[in-house]
Every structure is written in C-alpha cells, then in structure tokens.
Amino acid sequence: MRLSMIGWHGMFKKDFPIFKKTDMVYLDTAASAQKPAAVLRAMDRFYKTAYSNVHRGQCAWAAAATKAYEAARQNVADFIHADAANIVFTRGATDAVNLVAAGMAQTLKPGDEVLISIAEHHANFVPWQQACLKSGATFQVANILPSGELDRADFARKLTPRTKVVAITHLSNVLGVLNDAAALTRSAHAVGARILIDAAQSIAHVPLDVREIGCDFLVFSGHKLYGPTGVGVLYGPADALANLPPYQFGGDMIRQVAVSETTFADAPAKFEAGTPMIAEAVGLGAAVGYLNRIGWDKIRRHEEELMEYALAELAKIPEVRLMGTAEKQSVIAFTLDGIAAEDIGFVLGKKNICVRVGHHCAMPLHAHFGRAASARISFGLYNDAADIDRFIAALREGMRFFK
Ligand code: PMP
C-alpha cells in the first residue's frame, strides 16, 4: 500500500456526515454515492431561504429559485465543458435515455439499425430494444472481448450506413472498463449515425469533456455524482436537441398553446415539462462545486490507489474470478469459485460492509460471461485503505464459513 493513502483519504470521509457515527464500510458507490455536507447544506439553505417554483413568478423568492436552478445548470455545464443551453435536467440517466430513445423511435423504420454493446446497463439496453421492436428497426449488439473491452472489430462490422443510433456506455458498471467515447463517436459519425454516451458511471470518476468527445447525447444521474436522487442530465449539442421531439408535454415546455395546436419552446425547456426537480438541481450544482474544489488530480489519484490496492489484495485469494481482466476504473465485479455471490453479499452485509450482488442490471453481460450473478465493490471519495482491509478480512472469513 502506498503511504499517501493514509494521509488524505480520511480528509474526504469527514466531508460526508453519514460516516460520522457508524462503522459502515460503503463499497457501493456505483449504485449510488453518499452525499457530502456541501450538498445537504445547499439543499437545506435553498428550502429555508429561497424556495419557490421557477421561471414564471415575479416575487423575490421566485427570482432567487430561478437563479439557483439556472446556476445549477451552468455548474453542470461547466463540469462537462458544455453550454448551459445544451443541458437538460431529467429525472436521471434512465429517464434521459428513455427521452432520447422515445424521440429517435419516431424516426426509426424497418431497415434502420441501432447498435449497442453487450456490456450495457439495462437502462441503455431495454429502451433501445423496445424502440427497435416498436419501429421495426434492427437491434444490433456488439460483443466484448474476454478482457471486458469492447470488441472493436465486431463493433466495426456491425456499424454500417444502416446504423442510425449508437448507444454505448462510457464506463461499464460491472467491468469497470472505460470506452474511448471520442473514438466511438468518430466511428458513429463516419456512417452518419447519432451516438449516445451513457456516462452514468464515468461522470464521478473520470474528467469528461463533451467538446473532445463530440457525441450527440450524453446522460448521467445526479445521485452517482454525490448529488441527490431524482435529478439527472441529458447533454446534447444544439442540433441534436433541436431535432429530437419532446418527450413529455405540459407546462414550461411550450411557446404558444391554442385549441388547435401547440408550438414548443427551444431546448432545454422543450424537454423539461412540468415543475422540475428544483432543490435537487441545486444539490447537484453543489455536488459539482464540491468535486471542483477537490480537483480531478486528487480524485483520480485517490481512486487509482484504491483500485491498485483492492486488486492486489483480491489477487491474493485464488478463488476470486474477476469479471474481465482489462484495466478497471472505480468498479470491481468478481465471483468466487464454489461460493454463490448472494452468500458473499450476505456475509459481508452482516459485517456492515455494503457491496452489491446480483446481475447489476446487466443480465445480457452476465449471460455472456456464463455467470448468473457477481459480487461488486465500487469506490467513492470516502473510501480508504481500512475499508478495503475490512472487506478483504470479511471476505476471507465468509469463504471459510461457506467452504
Ligand atoms: N447506466 C449505467 C452504466 C448505470 O450504472 C446506471 C445505474 N446503475 C444507469 C445507467 C441508470 O442510472 P439511474 O438508475 O440513476 O437512472
């Protein structure tokens, strides 16, 4: 273990009030991250000082709430190097993928193709499968290599002028493998396809620049970015959002409404029908501010050291089988020879160690590996070497029990 871990890892844990009075080891950030005090404070302050609905009110609270909501949009935009006009607040990554898939399904027709990968989370799998079933388009699924990396040759074979949409994960929530989003975007654009990047996992763990990636759509959830649940983001450049029909209809998304017809507002308002998640957006803006104050250098170093240490410790247990051997970021899924993943989860849970067991909303991926379920640990800023030590000790103890 590198000595630097002892120094500043504890510094982050103290930012998260939930850890103050518990011995809980939380290794489930890929499912949802814990919240720093900065986020809790921002939401509390908002409700206590400036709460109102946004956009149309005249009073000071309405103006302040609108300002806070739009400031959050700007914070999120800056975080991924986008313009605020290109940031749509959604309910989460799932909601954002459904928004795009429902819109694209209206133009897909038999003979068109949609290309995803076998490593997709169900959130970026089922909406496209259903869009294909509805429109008669063909659903294409690119393979991965035994290492867990995307099979680029298979991807290239399945990417043709018939491909209208590519939807692919940036960072797999099981394999921890980071795809080259910019390269995939260039390939998709070369055949005239739109591309959606699922950044639900990458957003909190790797710096992301949509100008470099160049994709048409990018989605993520606030709750995996140390922000609240109930808010997420769809990013799209102006032309991609302009060409996408609205997903839901109602207040705030219109320009003119008459009995005979309605004209819609420009994006992002076009996609934000109804009262949005105002305090949640404020909380997400604060989460981004928190990460900005730490800086990517420290975030990356912290996670790389945790990953290196955890992999080294797991490698000492001969029964451990990793899901994919390629370089991993922030997520390690594994099975144990002779012991069911559910049993591992049970033993660890009893010892106050939160890991996740099951298919992790990636059934096709598990089927591809011939495994029904796996155990998964995933890291956040609050984890430290002691968390991994306790996890490994409990895992060894559990293995003795089940053998
Ligand atoms: N994509 C990936 C890769 C994910 O890991 C998740 C959440 N586990 C999602 C999409 C969906 O995110 P949410 O449930 O927040 O909508």
What is the structure's pLDDT at 59? 94
Gyration radius from the chain CA atoms: 22
Q: How many domains does the chain have?
A: 2
Active-site residue numbers? 361
Among candidate residues 260, 276, 292, the one where a domain is terminated: 292
What is the structure's pLDDT at 314? 98
**Structure-token pair, residue 181:** 């989003």
Distance (Å, rounded) from C-alpha 120 to C-alpha 81? 25
Nearest CA to ligand 1 atom 5: 173
- The one-character DSSP state at 269 is G
Q: Are residues 205 and 120 in the same domain?
A: yes
Q: Are residues 229 and 374 in the same domain?
A: no
Q: Are residues 25 and 139 in the same domain?
A: no
What is the structure's pLDDT at 58? 86
Pocket of ligand 1 (CB under 6 A): 92-94, 121, 123-124, 169, 173, 198, 200-201, 221, 223, 361
Q: Are residues 191 and 299 in the same domain?
A: no
Among candidate residues 244, 260, 292, the one where a domain is terminated: 292
Q: Are residues 73 and 203 in the same domain?
A: yes
Interval 52-94: pLDDT, tens: 999 988 899 999 999 999 999 999 999 999 999 999 999 999 9
Whole-number Å distance, alpha carbon 94 to ligand 1 midpoint, is 6
Q: Are residues 129 and 199 in the same domain?
A: yes
What is the structure's pLDDT at 402? 79
What is the structure's pLDDT at 6? 42
Q: Are residues 137 and 277 in the same domain?
A: yes
Residues of the chain short of pLDDT 50, as ranges, are 3, 6-8
Distance (Å, rounded) from C-alpha 227 to C-alpha 41? 12
| Residue 216 belongs to domain with CATH number | 3.40.640.10
Region for 99 from its dihedrals, namely left if φ exceeds 0, alpha if ψ lies in -120 to 50, beta otherwise: alpha
| Residue 18 belongs to domain with CATH number | 3.90.1150.10
Whole-number Å distance, alpha carbon 227 to ligand 1 midpoint, is 14
Closest ligand 1 atom to residue 223 Cα is 15
Among candidate residues 292, 321, 343, the one where a domain is terminated: 292
Pairing of strands 232-235, 87-90: antiparallel
Q: Containing domain of residue 70, as a range?
A: 40-292
Q: Are residues 312 and 250 in the same domain?
A: no
The H or E element spanning position 220 is strand 217-221
Whether the model clears a pTM of 0.85, i.e. scores above it, the answer is: yes
Q: Which residues pair with 197 in a beta bridge?
A: 168, 218
C-alpha torsion sign, points 240, 246, 247, 253? positive
Are 378 and 27 within 8 A, CB to CB?
yes
Q: Are residues 120 and 246 in the same domain?
A: yes
CA 261, chain centre distance (Å): 37
Whole-number Å distance, alpha carbon 128 to ligand 1 midpoint, is 15
Interval 131-161: pLDDT, tens: 999 999 999 999 999 999 999 999 999 999 9
Distance (Å, rounded) from C-alpha 54 to C-alpha 66? 5
